[in-house]
Amino acid sequence: MSAFGGFGIKSNTQLGVNKDNNDMLIHDMPDTISELAFSPDKRFLAGSCWDGNVYVWEFDANFQSRQYAMVKHDKPALCCTWSPDGSLLFSGGADNLIRQLNVATQATAIVGKHDQPIQEIRVVTNNGALLLASASWDKTLKFWNLQSEMPVHTVNLPERPYAMDALDNLIVVGLSDCSFHYIDATNPNNVVKKDGPGTHQTTTIAMFPDKTGYAVCTVEGRTSINYFTQSKENGHDNFTYRCHRTNNQTHPVNVIRFNPQTGTFATAGADGMICFWDKVARSKTGSLEKLGSPVTAMAYSPDGRKFAYALGYDWGKGVAFADPQMKNQLFLHTLSNDEYFPKGQK
């Protein structure tokens, strides 16, 4: 267990206390946001929501926003992702459907279907061709070429997927048995299984921007840094550290995202706190504290300078603990140099 340079420290966050951090309120939401994604040109921000809609906001040059479009699912929308050119937005939901939005025309279409809710979707590459990968509770990972509602390939998974991320042709899927499956979209029949770093349920996965590995977070307030090929000489050795823990309680880490420009990353938890980290220095570089509600989703802008995050009930304790007075809100944060750069590189 790592405690290097501030990794593993506890927070003193108290829910219900808002910190005046000058972040811009983008929108009050009708329900919890499940995932956020910036378009590649940072003009748009998409957010899938538990009310069954996927919202798209447009930003001007000063990052003032307006709602631009909306995609409707019949049940909660659980995930969203963009095509590399930003012309298409894809979303998956508890209605078992993958929907596509043409950003220019605002036309929508169904481009895929599973037998159970869709946990995550990502655009991947196969020898230059673009495919959409979708992980579902029906224990399958399916690949779609967007020209047919039938998948071009299906990978059967031994357990239900709880998290997934992908970059180019590489895919990492975290399953309910705490194992991980590595899949190369150019050869999806070759699935590599790896046991997880612990026994606690995986909540979120994020690939390193340089594709050398991935980070995993759990319900028990831990983050694990994992390299595909370990090398102590290059500093590529795996480690796990504790985070998002108050003095008396351990909180789930709900989401992790990497800055696409600098390789630093952020974790967000049910403790209503966002922490910024440098995995090379094994150090915490900043935090947003006392946000008032659990953080349910977040996303970096493509230039890495802006950061969107959503607050609301994360459903981690079920319907019985849902507070109707808890606000569901979406904010935009401008990163400080400490939050943006690796430690010592400002």
Determine phi and psi for 73, rounding to 5 degrees: -100, 160
Bridge partners of 34, per DSSP, are none
Measure the CA–CA gap between 224 and 158, rounded to whole angstroms. Answer: 22
Do residues 277 and 244 touch, judged by C-beta distance below 8 A? no
**319: helix, coil or strand?**
helix
Q: What is the pLDDT of residue 164?
A: 99
DSSP 3-state of 15: coil
d(CA 272, CA 292): 6
Tally the C-alpha atoms within 13 A of residue 128's C-alpha that lie toward its C-beta: 0
Eight-state DSSP code of residue 5: T
In terms of phi and psi (left: phi > 0; alpha: psi -120 to 50; beta: otherwise), the region of 263 is left
CA distance 206 to 336: 22
- Write out the DSSP string of 97-113: EEEEEETTT--EEEEEE
**What tens-digit pLDDT sequence spans the chain (346 residues)?**
444 444 544 444 444 333 456 799 999 999 999 999 999 999 999 999 999 999 999 999 888 999 999 999 999 999 999 999 999 999 999 999 999 999 999 999 999 999 999 999 999 999 889 999 999 999 999 999 988 889 999 999 999 999 999 999 999 999 999 999 999 999 999 999 998 777 789 999 999 999 999 999 999 999 999 999 988 777 789 999 999 988 778 999 999 999 999 999 999 999 999 999 999 999 999 999 989 899 999 999 999 999 999 999 988 777 877 788 789 999 999 999 999 999 878 6
Query: For position 7, what pLDDT does the model report?
Result: 52
Contacts of 187 (CB under 8 A, 6+ apart): none
Cβ–Cβ contacts within 10 Å for residue 273, how many? 24
Measured CA to CA, the distance from residue 243 to residue 253 in angstroms comes to 8
Domains annotated for the chain, with CATH where assigned, are 1-29+196-346 (2.130.10.10)
Classify the C-alpha dihedral 115-75-299-323 as positive or negative: negative
Look at residue 141 in the predicted model and tell me its pLDDT.
99
Residue 185 CA to residue 26 CA, distance in Å, equals: 36
* Pair of tokens at residue 79: 């995930």
pLDDT for res 20: 54
- What pTM was computed for the model? 0.92
Confirm if 129 and 140 have CB atoms less than 8 A apart: no
DSSP state of 248: S
